């Protein structure tokens, strides 16, 4: 008798800077994947690039793809499958599920990008075995996922857990993209904030390696800052002190509120590891409330930048299983 082919799904992670699609099996093994820069000129261009990527990955599958799960950086109306608005990508008032279903001709499921990242980390990653988990993803923005009693908490309509838009400094700088607020967590500790601090620090330490790198046209991104910080450049270390400090401020409030067992920190920026987690944990221990601060484990994401894609695949697999029952 021929072996029954294993269920294959596509997990799609839409980020503010990059997007990735992966062909994933039921054991969360990635068989194929593609990545490209997120087109941000218009919603139309973005949607058609997403469709092409999914078709491309799907065409490489050894057996039919059963569904696509999307993690999108948006406020979601789950009942209508809509992306209501998004801070860092051009996606608003969009009937995302209907559109993708008709373009792709297969079942489509959506959730927020950080919600699905948290799902992957809780299911098989850094928070495996824990039922109370908070995750933040630090990239272009800061995303948040809350797992309560082993399940993703989505709020009333599907737009909960916008942890990146928790205010850290009410008199701070204006938030980015379409967020009208000031001093949001993502304004103070994201990859965008890192670039701002790097430029400020280069101006105040003009002889530093960081200032020289920026003067020669390098982009002040996480990769540059991490390599300079690890070489001991004081300006780059000061940038990470600041990012780590504000990350700690955010983590402390969330640990006080939710009493999680595990707090996972993911997204591109966490490649800097202890440069961020060191100062963040220190702040938590100095300012957090007992017993929450003593009990929580603050850990880097296991799946790194793949957490969103794997989580989107988990979402599709879970939803398929739920519809079969």
The rounded distance, in Å, linking the Cα atoms of 290 and 16 is: 36
- Interaction of residue 186 with ligand BGC, rule CB under 6 A: yes
Q: Which stretch binds ligand BGC (CB under 6 A): 126-134, 159-167, 191-199, 280-288?
A: 159-167
287 Cβ contact list (under 8 Å, min separation 6): 248, 252
Q: Of residues 16, 81, 125, 244, which one binds ligand BGC by CB under 6 A?
A: 16
Q: Which is nearer to ligand BGC, 76 or 238 (CB)?
A: 76
CB of 85 to ligand BGC, least distance (A): 9
> Number of residues in contact with ligand BGC, rule: CB under 6 A?
16
The rounded Cα 209 to chain-centroid distance in angstroms is 30
Beta carbons within 10 angstroms of residue 266's beta carbon: 30
* 13 near ligand BGC (CB under 6 A): no
**Stretch binding ligand BGC (CB under 6 A), from 43-51, 135-143, 217-225, 230-238:** 135-143
**HSE toward the beta carbon, residue 315, CA cutoff 13 A:** 29
Rounded Cα distance between 321 and 200, Å, is 51
Least distance CB 82 / ligand BGC (angstroms): 14
Stretch that binds ligand BGC, among 46-54, 95-103, 158-166, 226-234 (CB under 6 A): 158-166
Burial class (CB in 10 A: 0-12, 13-18, 19+), 103: middle
Q: Is 117 in the site for ligand BGC (CB under 6 A)?
A: no
Task: Please work out, in degrees rounded to the nearest 5, the angle formed at the alpha carbon of residue 211 by the alpha carbons of 209 and 213.
Answer: 65
Our finding on whether 266 is near ligand BGC (CB under 6 A) is no
114: contact with ligand BGC by CB under 6 A = yes
Q: Does 121 bind ligand BGC (CB under 6 A)?
A: no
User: Which of residues 112 and 226 has its CB atom nearest to ligand BGC in the complex?
Assistant: 112
Check residue 69 for interaction with ligand BGC (CB under 6 A): no
Length of the chain: 325
In the complex with ligand BGC, which residue's Cβ is closer, 158 or 288? 158
Binding test (CB under 6 A) with ligand BGC, winner from 11, 22, 73, 81: 73
Q: How far apart are CA 202 and CA 199, in angstroms?
A: 5
Sign of CA dihedral 153, 167, 297, 272: positive
Question: Does 137 interact with ligand BGC (rule: CB under 6 A)?
Answer: yes
Selected range binding ligand BGC among 59-67, 157-165, 192-200, 249-257, rule: CB under 6 A? 157-165
The smaller minimum CB distance to ligand BGC, of residues 137 and 253, is found at 137
**Residue 88 near ligand BGC by CB under 6 A:** yes
90 lines the binding site for ligand BGC (CB under 6 A)? no
- Segment contacting ligand BGC by CB under 6 A, of 107-115, 202-210, 233-241, 251-259: 107-115
Residues that bind ligand BGC (CB under 6 A): 15-16, 73-74, 87-88, 112-114, 137, 141, 143, 162, 164-165, 186
């Amino acid at each position: 008798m021929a072996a029954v082919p294993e269920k294959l799904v596509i997990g799609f992670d839409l980020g503010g800077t990059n997007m990735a699609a992966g062909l994933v099996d039921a054991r969360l093994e990635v068989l194929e994947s593609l990545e490209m820069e997120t087109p941000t000129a218009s919603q139309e261009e973005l949607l058609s690039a997403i469709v092409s990527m999914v078709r491309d990955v799907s065409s490489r599958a050894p057996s039919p793809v059963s569904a696509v799960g999307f993690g999108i950086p948006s406020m979601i109306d789950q009942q209508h499958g809509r992306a209501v608005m998004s801070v860092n990508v051009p996606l608003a008032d969009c009937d995302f599920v209907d559109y993708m279903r008709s373009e792709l001709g297969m079942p489509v499921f959506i959730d927020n990008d950080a919600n699905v990242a948290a799902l992957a980390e809780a299911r098989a990653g850094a928070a495996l075995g824990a039922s109370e988990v908070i995750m933040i993803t630090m990239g272009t923005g800061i995303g948040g996922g809350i797992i309560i009693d082993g399940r993703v908490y989505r709020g009333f309509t599907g737009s909960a857990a916008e942890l990146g838009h928790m205010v850290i400094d009410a008199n701070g700088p204006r938030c980015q993209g379409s967020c009208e607020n000031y001093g949001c967590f993502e304004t103070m500790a994201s990859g965008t904030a890192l670039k701002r601090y790097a430029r400020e620090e280069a101006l105040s330490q003009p002889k530093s390696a960081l200032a020289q790198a920026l003067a020669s046209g390098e982009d002040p991104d996480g990769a540059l800052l991490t390599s300079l910080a690890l070489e001991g450049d004081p300006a780059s270390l000061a940038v990470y002190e600041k990012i780590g400090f504000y990350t700690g401020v955010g983590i402390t409030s969330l640990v006080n509120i939710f009493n999680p067992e595990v707090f996972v920190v993911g997204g591109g920026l966490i490649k800097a590891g202890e440069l961020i987690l060191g100062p963040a944990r220190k702040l938590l221990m100095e300012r957090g409330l007992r017993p929450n601060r003593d009990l929580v484990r603050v850990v880097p994401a296991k799946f790194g930048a793949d957490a969103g894609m794997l989580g989107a695949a988990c979402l599709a697999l879970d939803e398929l299983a739920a519809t079969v029952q």
